[in-house]
């Protein structure tokens, strides 16, 4: 363990997939962390944080709890983020680096709810950050799908290409990046990180919840809900394992000295959706569906239920953009970092976890 002085971090979204993994790594790397958690009528905030830390590593909470301050608040609360006076003072005076992981990723939520957290909440956080006298930088977690329906090469320097959007989620994250641009002009150092589809941990397959687009597709293939599945042959699936994503962001955050950059932390080798479907069906002993174009799929008169089940999955598969992560990969290569490839071995690790938890069943 490196016991040298590390910057104190203010982390939002601490109980989510990415936020909880960041929290685990930050504590293990000897950072002091303020973890922002919303009030909940059920379990206390610290209990929920302990639960997510225990999920990733049962030793982390007890070993590093002296470095952790769980503060209750809400990113949607303008001005003070809903923090009590004592916590507000401590966070303002103590924060040196912010990791903004708070976001709604549920596409079925109302657009107003999504915007209130993903875009308006981002503005609230940046306003709060302006009041932190020792703040050095903000790491804002966005999404690769700010690209919307953009057709062509989409690299780290791009944002507004006149694209339209498939969901309120995409548009809200696009707006959040534009807000980041405004606050960069107010002298905040804001680095933006755009993950693609985030998968479970590469070494164990663990993921806290299966309520994510690709995992829902695995369930559809497992249950053989479709004999035909819409897959455009020229579109690919871009993914990153949660541990690789978080570790790469921490490397960049600690090493990069050029402010206000945007990064694409993922490997360039995307895979075809039918490759993932075939691996899943092979492992589970299921019959792979016939892969057809979306137009041909619609001609087969799918039911409203089938269309509703497909919607969150197609949002990430049906992409005309070609994603470029060259600049980010070059930077990470200097530190010897390489992303875990998505292949039969690493994908079976994910499936193993899904099977152990009863989410998927083998024949």
Instruction: State the DSSP H helix or E strand holding residue 98, giving kind and residue range, or none if neither.
Output: strand 97-100
pLDDT at 23 over 60: yes
Least confident of 77-81, 108-112, 162-166: 108-112
In the chain the domains, ranked by start, together with CATH numbers, are 9-194 (3.40.50.720), 199-238+270-321+342-356 (no CATH)
How far is the C-alpha of 79 from the C-alpha of 280, rounded, in Å? 47
Q: Which of 150, 95, 94, 146 is nearest to 119 (CA)?
A: 146
Place 318 in a pLDDT band, splitting at 50, 70 and 90. Answer: low
Q: Which residues pair with 197 in a beta bridge?
A: 239
Model pLDDT, residue 1: 42
**According to the model, what pLDDT value does residue 316 have?**
61
Question: Of the ranges 28-42, 119-133, 212-226, which is most confident?
Answer: 119-133
Average pLDDT over the chain reads 92
pLDDT tier at 237, thresholds 50, 70, 90? confident
Query: Which range is most confident: 35-39, 43-47, 90-94, 309-313?
Result: 90-94
User: Would the pTM of this model clear 0.85, i.e. be above it?
Assistant: yes
In terms of Cα–Cα distance, which of 137, 3, 136 is closest to 64?
3
53 against 272, higher pLDDT: 53
Please say if the pLDDT value at position 314 is more than 80: no
Average pLDDT on 55-60 reads: 97
CA distance 275 to 224: 16
What is the spatial distance between Cα 252 and Cα 260, in angstroms, rounded to a whole number? 12
User: What integer is the mean pLDDT of 205-214?
Assistant: 90
Lookup result for tokens 């940046």: 126
Phi, psi of 139 (to 5 degrees): -105, 110
DSSP output for 145-204: GGGTT--EEE-TT---SS---SSHHHHHHHHHHHHHHHHHTTT--EEEE---EEES-TTT
Q: Strands (DSSP E) along 210-315, which ranges?
A: 228-230, 239-241, 262-263, 290-292
Provide mean pLDDT across the span 7-26.
97
């Amino acid at each position: 363990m490196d016991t040298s002085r590390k910057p104190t971090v203010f982390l939002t979204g601490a109980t989510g997939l990415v936020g909880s993994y960041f929290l685990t790594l930050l504590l293990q790397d000897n950072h002091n962390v303020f973890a922002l958690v919303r009030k909940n009528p059920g379990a206390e905030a610290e209990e929920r944080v302990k639960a997510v830390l225990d999920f990733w590593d049962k030793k982390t909470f007890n070993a590093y709890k002296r470095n952790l301050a769980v503060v209750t608040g809400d990113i949607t609360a303008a001005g003070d983020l809903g923090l009590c006076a004592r916590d507000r003072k401590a966070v303002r005076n103590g924060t040196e680096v912010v990791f903004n992981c708070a976001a709604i990723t549920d596409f079925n939520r109302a657009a107003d709810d999504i915007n209130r957290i993903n875009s308006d909440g981002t503005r609230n956080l940046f306003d709060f950050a302006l009041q932190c006298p020792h703040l050095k930088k903000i790491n804002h977690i966005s999404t690769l799908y700010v690209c919307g329906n953009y057709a062509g090469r989409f690299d780290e320097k791009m944002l507004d290409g006149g694209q339209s959007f498939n969901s309120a989620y995409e548009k809200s994250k696009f707006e959040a990046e534009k807000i980041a641009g405004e606050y960069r002009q107010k002298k905040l150092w804001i680095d933006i990180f755009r993950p693609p589809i985030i998968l479970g941990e590469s070494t164990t397959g663990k993921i806290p919840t299966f309520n994510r687009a690709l995992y829902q597709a695995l369930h559809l293939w497992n249950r053989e809900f479709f004999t035909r599945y819409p897959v455009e042959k020229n579109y690919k699936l871009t993914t990153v394992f949660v541990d690789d994503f978080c570790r790469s962001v921490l490397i960049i955050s600690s090493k990069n000295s050029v402010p206000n950059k945007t990064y694409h932390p993922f490997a360039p080798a995307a895979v075809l959706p039918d490759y993932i479907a075939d691996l899943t069906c092979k492992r589970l002993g299921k019959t792979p569906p016939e892969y057809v174009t979306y137009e041909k799929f619609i001609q087969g008169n799918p039911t409203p239920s089938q269309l509703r089940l497909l919607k969150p999955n197609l949002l990430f598969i049906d992409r005309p953009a070609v994603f470029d992560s060259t600049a980010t990969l070059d930077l990470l290569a200097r530190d010897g970092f390489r992303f875990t490839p998505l292949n039969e071995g690493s994908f079976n690790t994910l499936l193993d976890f899904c099977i152990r938890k009863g989410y998927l069943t083998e024949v």
